[in-house]
Structure 1
Amino acid sequence: MTHNFSVSPDFNPSHISGWYIFNTWLQRAISENIHLELYNDFESHRNAIATDQLDLIYANPYDAALLVRDKGFVPVACPENRSDEAIIAVNKESPLVNIEALSEGTRISSTDDPDVRMMCMIMLEPAGLDKTNTVLNQRDTYVLVAKDLLKNDADIGFFLEETYNDLSEIIRNQLRPLVQSEIHVIHHLLLAGPKLASKRDAIQKSLLSMADD
């Protein structure tokens, strides 16, 4: 039997080779056939979840809650000393210097990552902004969010901090963080589905000894 493994689409494309290397290592470590399936957007990824196509997932916090609650997945591991934080960024040439300078009608570019969107919308509250008085442009990837800012098609962009920091230097040098969350309690999780739940201990043991390989 071959199990399907996937990763939340909020990772930087430059990490694709790393995930394939990890998948190859994991197959040897737990003696299971595992196929890595990567999706370009959240809609495709969530459709795979809804139709029970995946057995192992590195999930964002929102999807992790759904997988545990509705799909019988069990937590395996989370990154050490790393939490999920969000950044609201602007074009480097933007006159905006703080959240309070934003006004009704602000154009937002965002992926449909619900955790990042939730954190960023909370950070907009000091400006009196919410979904009723802003204009949201939804994009498939964070690279497209960045492009909206570079082309001045959006006033602000919502980013997962890690993904923002992984943008190319050329792109980052044309952007500027306006505000960043400091929640420290939200994490991505590696989760095993019902077909791989019996392998949870083996996966955990392998991950803990990974540095020795």
Structure 2
Amino acid sequence: MASPFKLSVCPHDTAKNLLGWFTLNTYLQRKLGIGIHFDPRDSFLEERQAVLDQPHHVVYANPYSALCFARERGFVPVARPAGVVDEAVVVARPGALPGPALRIASATDKLIIHDLGLKVLHGLGIDAGQADFTFVGNHLNAARAVIDGNADLGIVFDETWNSLGPSTRSQLEVVGESRDGLAFHCFMVSPAWADKREAIQRILCAMHEDPAGLRVLDDLRFSRFDPVGGEILAPLAALLGS
């Protein structure tokens, strides 16, 4: 019988290393002495809606979802990966100047990367209100849309850009990028587990001092988790203009 307590993780992260997140869930269960069910999802929107619709107790949320979970379900941030932030890169074909009928590819307008990309466009003097946006599902598809000539510009997650191979990157040119440093993924705890918030924060933020925890962190390519609280939500709201 599955545990009634649930963990949810942003699909961007489970897509990179699903087994690593199962291992982290096992580590957290052992430290808490409580069973936690982890049911990964493939879609950002499905994962977000599942947390909003069903009782969840711990989440590892992207910035946009974090704000939704805090506002709609009272989740509280407890920890974040040290030194890891979400930024947007705007790409074009090398030497191509955007024309008046601008086509822009973006993964979705339901992730903060899109909003950061809009800020970059504004800084470049581009009126996003006059552009034709196509939402292509993920950041890699946004880059591919530019390469294939289906978009003049693409808004891409910087992590995705940095992971592209040399041949792909040679077909693109960075025309702007955000450097806000205010958006990042974080662990959050639900109101139902308010009595466990401090324990979960303490466990996560001490993982780098525990050999077993350090192995999990290394597998997920994190150095450590740092404590955070509700103070991170106002800057996210400001970035999203809400």
TM-score normalized by the length of structure 1: 0.84
Structure 1 residues 12 and 56: alpha-carbon distance in aligned structure 2, compared to 1, 3 A threshold: closer
Describe the shift of the 1:114–1:127 C-alpha distance in structure 2 as closer, same or farther (beyond 3 A): same
The answer to whether structure 1 residue 106 and structure 2 residue 108 are counterparts is: no
Residue 22 of structure 1 aligns with which residue? 24
In percent, how many aligned pairs have the same letter?
Answer: 29
**How far 1:135 moved relative to its partner?**
1.3
CA contact (8 A) 1:108 1:154 kept: yes
Instruction: Deviation per CA, 1:136-189: give whole Å up to 9, x if none.
Output: 111222232233233222222212222332345554454332211111222222
Q: Does structure 2 retain, via aligned residues, the 8 Å contact 1:41–1:141?
A: no
Distance across 1 between alignment mates of 2:9 and 2:84: 17
Render the CA deviation track for 1:73-109: whole Å, top value 9, x for unaligned. Answer: 1111012122221111234xx323xxxx433322211
Instruction: Please report how far the alpha carbon of residue 12 of structure 1 lies from its aligned counterpart in structure 2 after TM superposition.
Output: 7.2
Q: Which residue of 2 aligns with 1:37?
A: 39
Identify the residue that residue 156 of structure 2 maps to in structure 1.
Answer: 159
Question: How many Å apart are 1:117 and its aligned residue?
Answer: 1.0
Secondary structure at 1:78 match in 2: strand
Residue 121 of structure 1 deviates from its aligned partner by 0.9
Q: Considering only aligned residues, what root-mean-square deviation do their CA atoms show, in Å? A: 2.3
2:112: which partner in 1? 115
Q: Please list, as runs of the form range in 1=range in 2, the aligned pairs for 1:1-213 lying within 5 A after superposition.
A: 1-11=3-13, 13-91=15-93, 94-96=94-96, 101-112=97-108, 113-125=110-122, 126-130=124-128, 132-167=129-164, 171-211=168-208, 212=210, 213=212
CA 1:180 to 1:61, structure 2 compared with 1: closer, same or farther past 3 Å? same
- Flag structure 1 segments of 5+ consecutive residues without an equivalent: none
- 8 Å CA contact 1:71–1:193 kept in 2: the answer is yes
Q: Give the total of aligned pairs.
A: 206
State the distance in 2 between where 1:171 and 1:28 align: 43
- Residues 106 and 39 (structure 1 numbering): CA distance in 2 closer, same or farther, change over 3 Å? farther
Residue 31 of structure 1: CA displacement? 1.8
Shift of 1:62: 2.1
With normalisation by structure 2, the TM-score equals 0.75
In the aligned structure 1, how far is the partner of 2:111 from the partner of 2:186? 15
Q: Which whole-Å CA distance do the structure 2 matches of 1:12 and 1:110 have between them?
A: 21
Structure (1/2) with the larger helix percentage: 2
**Structure 2 residue runs without a partner (length 5+):** 213-242
Kindly tell me: are residues 31 and 152 of structure 1, through their superposed partners in 2, closer, same or farther at Cα, counting changes over 3 Å?
farther
Structure 2 residue matching 1:127: 3-state secondary structure: coil
Secondary structure of the residue aligned to 2:91 is strand
